[in-house]
A and B are shown apart, each in its own frame.
Chain A
Amino acid sequence: MNKIILGRYIPGGASFVHRLDPRSKLILSFFFIVVIFFANNVQSYLLLGVFTLFCVYLSKISLAFFIKGVRPLIWLILFTVVLQIFFTRGGQVYWQFGPFSVTHFGLVNGGFVFCRFVLIIFMSTLLTLTTAPLEIASALEALMLPLKKFKVPVYEISLMISIALRFVPTLMDETEKIMNAQRSRGVNFGEGSLIKQLKAVVPLLIPLFVGAFNRAEDLATAMEARGYRGGEGRTKYRVHFWKRRDTLSCVLFGLLTLLLLFLRNW
């Protein structure tokens, strides 16, 4: 349970990336993911790679950590890469067997898909490692504000997101606790046949759900007791300030995009 790096926050950073406005971080990482799909040759991927490493360097978090973030997804990545390699046609054929063939295009495409995955994971890990979950939630709310005109319940959505994010670690702890308690009563998680394993999950899931229901009820009562009446007419404690470093990073990303468009073959 503790091995999952994605979605974790490392506090205590006074780094450039840590101090960015969460809104700009959110926009820029989305933007970066879109930009990745424009890259289509070795030079452009190299550029994006160097840029990503530069961002990682700015965050002052060790690179090993990001590599760990890739690890849980490595099988998915390899699966996709292998499919690409075997089923892409064109260019020089190196090896062929029935519908499978390894071609020059296939290898190149496989390499690109691999790079794409790794870059996306690095960037999104960078976002979650340097931004506290509540900051992400309030940034999301700020960014969704224009949708209010289209009757999207922006406030409710962001409230749910922030509560959900707040309770992820709590629920993880609770899961761990219940697992330990049931293990002590002789349940073996993740052992035996598939049906046995599925059955072992019941003593974990039911208490977890019951606990979540109870917690929701308590939380709702506590919120009402403290005068919560809904989104209308509330003031904000967490206020974002757009600073010079945010503009700077936007400009940097703009330059990157221009350079990328230049490097890419039309």
Chain B
Amino acid sequence: MSIHFKNVNYIYQQATPFEQQALFDISLTIPSGSYTAIIGHTGSGKSTLLQHLNGLLKPTSGQITIEKQIITPTTKNKALSSLRKQVGIVFQFPEAQLFEETVLKDIAFGPKNFGSSEQEATQLARQMAHLVNLPEELLEKSPFELSGGQMRRVAIAGILAMEPQVLVLDEPTAGLDPRGRTEIMEIFQALRIKQHLTIILVTHQMDDVARYANHVIVLEKGRLLASGTPTEIFSDPEWLRTHHLALPQAARFASALQKKSGFEFSKMPLTEEELANQLVEQLGKRG
């Protein structure tokens, strides 16, 4: 499912003294099947933007096209409910949305809302719990007895159970330990490859952007600053610095090495693998 924003503006609490514009004239395209990362400072409008993706917010002006559905300021809420099934959003700290008596019921809640039968929904829930590595014995427990990391998995499974075609992730690994982090990121990656999902990731982790994304959107103060491949976005360290964005660790190391020892990289390495490969190649040449 490809997504197009055309001149989208969004104003919070319009026509009150608290009025505040969060998005300014955003036009962008998220290609179908892409892994798009949205980066930018806190308060740059990332979260506002992602709430537009399934119609939780409607643009104040402009228009959004998601596959065939067009969202304009006057679109009725009724028309949006099918969109919510197609675009699943994992919000920041999604464990706050758990409420059912058992983990299984909670995961099955989404599919049931979209018309699955009890049996189908439970079966889907089991499948998704397995997918996010939740042990079988937890399924009949209350979600409130689990650890923070397990709760996060339950919440994510609850979104995946709706079988969305677009998966929107708002800092899905915030507050997790390093191991849980890689595990969850790898689950998303595997899903994308297996089921051809479009993934939209909002994050501050540049390493994740470099490792997984193939399309990057940079926001600043509600405006679209740049969009392109990670290589394009991370190619100019100076530009990143002026906009208070960080480089991935491998790139930081590479540019420091370049400065110190005159080591020449043919292409800025973004991940550890790329860095290692280039180092081996160059050292091999030197003999």
**Contact surface of A with B, Cβ cutoff 8 Å:** 2, 10, 62, 65, 68, 174, 177-178, 180-188, 202-203, 206-207, 210-211
Which of chain A's residues have a CB closer than 8 A to the CB of B91?
A: 177, 180-181, 184
**Across-interface contacts of A202 in B (CB, < 8 A):** 99
Contact with A along B6-28 (1 / 0, CB 8 A): 00000011001110000000000
Instruction: Supply 5 further A-B pairs (C-beta < 8 A) apart from A186-B113, A186-B162.
Output: A10-B17, A181-B94, A203-B109, A207-B96, A210-B99
Q: Decide if B17 touches A62 in the complex (CB within 8 Å).
A: yes
Proximity bits, B62-103, A CB within 8 Å = 1, else 0: 000000000000000000010011001101001011110000
Q: Which residues of B approach A to under 8 Å, CB–CB?
A: 12-13, 16-18, 51, 54, 56, 81, 84-85, 88-89, 91, 94, 96-99, 109-110, 113-114, 144, 158-159, 162
Given contacts A203-B99, A207-B97, A207-B99, contact A184 B89 (CB under 8 A): yes
Chain A residue numbers with a CB within 8 Å of B96 are 174, 177-178, 181, 207, 211
Q: Which of B85, B96, B162 is packed against the most chain A CB atoms within 10 Å?
A: B96
Q: Are B110 and A185 in contact (CB under 8 A)?
A: yes
Q: Across the two chains, which residue of chain A brings its CB closest to B98?
A: A207
Residues A181 and B97 in contact in the complex (CB < 8 Å), given A10-B17, A186-B81? yes
Q: Tally the A-B contacts, defined by beta carbons under 8 Å.
A: 60
- Residues B159 and A185 in contact, CB atoms below 8 Å apart: yes
For the complex, what is the distance from the CA of A185 to the CA of B91, rounded to whole Å? Answer: 11
A185-B99 in contact given A10-B17, A62-B17 (Cβ < 8 Å): no
CB contacts (< 8 Å) of A177 on chain B: these are 91, 96
The distance in angstroms between the C-alpha atoms of A188 and B78, with both chains bound, is 9
Q: Check if B84 sits within 8 Å of A184, measured CB to CB.
A: yes
Q: B13 is contacted by which of A2, A186, A188 (Cβ under 8 Å)?
A: A2
- Evaluate contact between A206 and B99: CB separation under 8 angstroms: yes
Complex CA gap A186/B112 in Å reads 9
Cα–Cα distance between A181 and B170 once the two chains are bound (Å): 12
7 closest cross-chain pairs (CB), A and B: A186-B113, A206-B99, A181-B97, A185-B110, A184-B89, A181-B91, A203-B99
Taken together as a complex, chains A and B put the C-alpha atoms of A178 and B91 apart, in Å, by: 9
- Name 20 A/B residue pairs within 8 A (Cβ), A-sorted: A2-B13, A2-B16, A177-B91, A178-B96, A181-B94, A184-B84, A184-B89, A185-B110, A185-B158, A185-B159, A186-B84, A186-B110, A186-B114, A186-B162, A188-B81, A203-B109, A206-B99, A207-B96, A210-B99, A211-B96
How far in angstroms is the closest Cβ of chain A from B211?
26
Residues of B contacting A188 in the complex (Cβ-Cβ under 8 angstroms): 81
A190 nearest in chain B by CB position: B77
- With a cutoff of 8 Å between Cβ atoms, the chain B residues found around residue A203 in the complex are 97, 99, 109
